[in-house]
Amino acid sequence: MAFPWPKRLPKNGVNVLKRFGILLLAITAISGCYFPSDFTADLQLDREGRYRFTYVGKLTDVSMARRLVRGDLQGIDLQKRVEIAERDMRRDNSFKEIQYEEKARFDIKYQREGYIVAERSFDFVRLSSRFLTLKYNRNTGEITLIGGKPNEKQANALEEAGIEFKGVLRVWTNVQPDKHNSKKIEPRGRLIVYSWDIENIHQPVPLFKFKPQPLQ
């Protein structure tokens, strides 16, 4: 399987890579390894704290992308680096589908189930690349879902690079939250769906809090 990367780019292609380089410098501190985009993320969450999380969308491997911008990866070296990234993701068996696209971007499907009261915390993509955190606080007895985002300087650099941070997050639940900031709430049978349409990186991060019931 070949991963072609042209030795010479047209002028507009060079500009794209320059913008991409700005992006990478901006998000290294907050994304660690992977940066999500163009996604649909669904979290099914019950009163006791059992959950199922599904993410379908793109992930950019930041370290690979930096090397592409510098021109360090071409041909067989790029193919090997893609294989390394795939092996890294597959260490987490919640990655169900991984397909390399281009320019360090992967199309992925991720699905995980668990009981957050016992686990205490779950970070997607991972601890060093937190797009979303679900956690249980033993002291307060609360379960909190909270999103992650870069600081203002990094967010402005993302926009300058022409990179859009867009997607949809939905929480499907029978829980009555103590606090949330969803602006779109819909009944779906016995469940309520709380949705966040993420249209830019400056939006407030999603937030959803409640106190779980004991396991039945």
Domain ranges of the chain: 11-210
8 Å CB contact between 148 and 127: no
* Single pTM value for the model: 0.81
Taking a C-beta distance cutoff of 8 angstroms, is the pair 20, 164 a contact? Answer: no
Q: pLDDT by residue (tens digit) across 92-135?
A: 999 999 999 988 899 999 999 999 999 999 999 876 667 899 99
Please name the residue that has the structure tokens 């070296």: 77
Q: What is the band of 63 on the pLDDT scale with cuts at 50, 70, 90?
A: confident
β-strands 105-115, 167-173 pairing: unpaired
DSSP state of 157: H
3-state secondary structure of 138: coil
CA–CA separation, 148 and 124 (whole Å): 10
